Structure formats: structure tokens, C-alpha cells
Homo-oligomer: A and B are copies of this chain.
Amino acid sequence: MKNVDHLLAGRSASNGADFVRAIFAEARKPGVISLSGGLPNPRFFPVEALIASTAKVMRSHGTEILQYGTSDGFLPLREWIAGRYKQQGIDVSPDMVVLMSGSLQGLDITGRIFLEPGDEVVIEAPMFLGAIQTLANYQPRFVPVPMGDEGIDTDALARTLQSHPNAKLIEVNPSAQNPSGVTYSAGVRAQFAAAVKNHQALIVEDDPYAELRFDGTRPISLRRELGDRVIGLGSFSKIISPGMRVGWVVAAREVAARFTLGKQMVDSHASNFASATIWQFIQDNDIDAHIAGINAIYTIQRDAMLAACKKYFPPDVRYTHPQGGMFVWVTMPEGADALTLFRDAVATEKVAVVPGAPFYTDGVGGKTQFRMSFSTVEPAMIDEGVQRLARAMLRHLDGA
């Protein structure tokens, strides 16, 4: 094969995905306790119930499901999603919902619809690295705003929006953020709404973890405050199955129509086979009880991770206390280097995390930080993993 590099588009330049893949490859080595994943716990995959759902919905809707469908996706599932927003007191109709092959595709099509190279996109810092990579394809200028303990720094956001009047999008992950685990408090949500009020930008509320809630009540979508200013991205990946690849966008009717057109052009429509099976599963099973079961176990695992952090980490190491989701975000003292720690921890202690740098777009943030996930690890292994990590960290901080 002759080299094709000279034929590549500018957006095909390396974007850090290889680095992240190398980290995950390390984490999969035998004997390594991986706190690096971001996977749902497979014990909650409802294998038998989904088999039954497929059989039932194929017998009632088989010809429709297996044929080409409309690009907005399987209507009964869109109706259910609209109803789910209504439970939060938010008026959403099915023609405002477009099914996606996972919520990440919603973000990709957002970029496709709105972004020219050089356009400004305000993001949280840190931010989910997969979202950074997906948006980076559209070659925007990222404008990061720091996250605090209760959500995005709304003072910094207000200043940033004043100095960037042409920003097109504000991409946020307000509920149990990946990677920080932080959920915007009610106060931050109100200040956020005030800060964005007079700016032109659309808000992209990337919310795949919204249903994973351990303390207090489920956070309410920004759409309740901000209405059609918000493009909401949701997913069944964290509550039913990511391998089925079904998520959604909820947006103003006119904007939803653009997502439908975008979906038509990238892959016609979401898999009706998967969408219809999910819909039937929700009809025949108590989805709230299913989610409560996931949250009960994740709460135990979250508690085990926080207890282990308290027990083993030096006192000057800070970490978040997530109210939901899958992640704890750790900040070591100035001078520490999470990548060096990662390499030593994998090699000598056989425990893996994700170093913080790929969650920032500025090339400097996250040096002292890393992400740990508790979603797929049993409490005893969480304790053991954090203990191993703390040993490597103590050596590293002594030497730093």
C-alpha cells in the first residue's frame, strides 16, 4: 500500500486518541486492577429480558423494524423519551426528539450542523476526552471554563461569554460529569442560566449520567430553565446497554429537524432493531426499579472508593465526592505528575487510572490530576486498588 497521508483532510491529524488507547491497553494487562474504565457494570445488563423484548416487538412490529425507517427514529421510543422529560416538568414532544447511535453521535452531529473551523466552543475544564475528540474534528477553538466543586465556575463563565460574544456553543455535562464526578448544584444551575441569558450561544447539555444518582433527588435538565436554548443529549448506554448504541437528542423543533437531516446524511437512522427492543424492554419492565438497582450498587462502590481515598491518600491530595455517575477525580499537590505516577503505578503496583491531561484542551491542565472509576470494580478490589495506588503516589510525591 502506498502511503495515503498526503490525501488526508486536516481534521484527520492526530488528536490524542492513540495516547488514550495506549493507556487503556496498559489497564487491560493481566493482574492489573483497572480503575481506568468508564464502563457500565455488566451485572446489570438485562440479557434475558432483552431477549424476550426482541421476540415480542419483532412479532408485533417486525416488518417495520427491519425496514428502512424515518431518520428521526422509532416513534414509540421517542414518545417514551418525551414522556420522561414531562416527568421532570419539562414539555417535550416526540418531534423534538431524534434517536442517535449513542449520545456521542448527538455531539458529532451538533458539530456538523453548527461548527466551522475556528468557531468558538465554550467547554468545561476538565471535560470528557471523547467529547473533546469528537468536537475537535470540526476544528473549533475551545474556550475552557474551570469546574468547581458544585459545577462550572459561573463567574468565570460570565466573564468568558462577555469576552467571547461570538461563541456558538456551550458544551456542558452538568450531572455527574465525566471525568470530575461533579453535579451542578441548584445554585450553580440558576447562576448558569443567568450567565448565558444574553448570549447567542446554544447550550449543549450532554447528560448521559443524569439517571445515575446516589444522593438527593435527580437533577433537573437545564431545559427547564433555558428551554429551546438547550440541545440535550441523552443515552440508554448507562442504564440499559451501551453495546446497543441508542441515545437521543432533544431540541427545539426546528433544530431537531436539522438533526434528523444530519442523521439522514451520516447513517440514515438509528438501528430500529435496537431501538424497538429497548422500547419493548421499558414497556415490560420497571425501568425505575432497574435504575434504582444500579444506583444501589454504584452507591456502595462509590462509598468504598471514597473510604479508601480517605484511608490511604495523603492529606494534601484532594478528590471529588460524586453524588452520581461513575467517577472520582483526584488532584495531587503542585509539582506532581499524573503521567509519571500512572506509569509507575501500572508497572510496580499493577493498578491503572486515567491521567488528567487528555481531559483538557490547553495542553497544560490536568498534570497533577487523574480519574478513577468505581462502576465495574467490587468494593474489596476498590480498596486494594486505591491502596496500591496510594503506595505509588506516596513514592511519587516524596520524589516530586
Chain A residues packing against B (C-beta within 8 Å): 1, 3-4, 6-12, 17, 39-40, 42, 45, 47, 50-51, 54-55, 58-59, 62-69, 100-102, 104-105, 108, 112-116, 119, 130, 133-134, 137-138, 168, 200-202, 227-228, 237, 241-246, 252-255, 258, 261, 264-274, 277
Residues in B neighbouring A3, C-beta threshold 8 A: 254
The reply to whether B67 and A40 contact each other, CB–CB distance below 8 Å, is yes
Which partner residue on chain B sits nearest A6 by CB separation?
B200
Task: Find A273's partner among B17, B134, B137, B274 (CB 8 Å cutoff).
Answer: B274
- Report the copy number of this chain in the oligomer: 2
Sample of 5 further A-B pairs with CB below 8 A, known A64-B243, A130-B268, A133-B265: A8-B114, A45-B66, A66-B244, A134-B265, A245-B273
Q: How far is the CA of A122 from the CA of B42 in the complex (A)?
A: 47
Task: Find A51's partner among B55, B202, B227 (CB 8 Å cutoff).
Answer: B55
Q: How far is the CA of A254 from the CA of B252 in the complex (A)?
A: 41
Residues in B neighbouring A59, C-beta threshold 8 A: 47, 51
Q: How far is the CA of A90 from the CA of B266 in the complex (A)?
A: 29
Residues in B neighbouring A272, C-beta threshold 8 A: 243-245
Q: How far is the CA of A108 from the CA of B63 in the complex (A)?
A: 27
Known: A51-B58, A114-B7. A266 touches B266 (CB 8 A): yes
Known: A133-B265, A228-B1, A245-B269. A113 touches B63 (CB 8 A): no
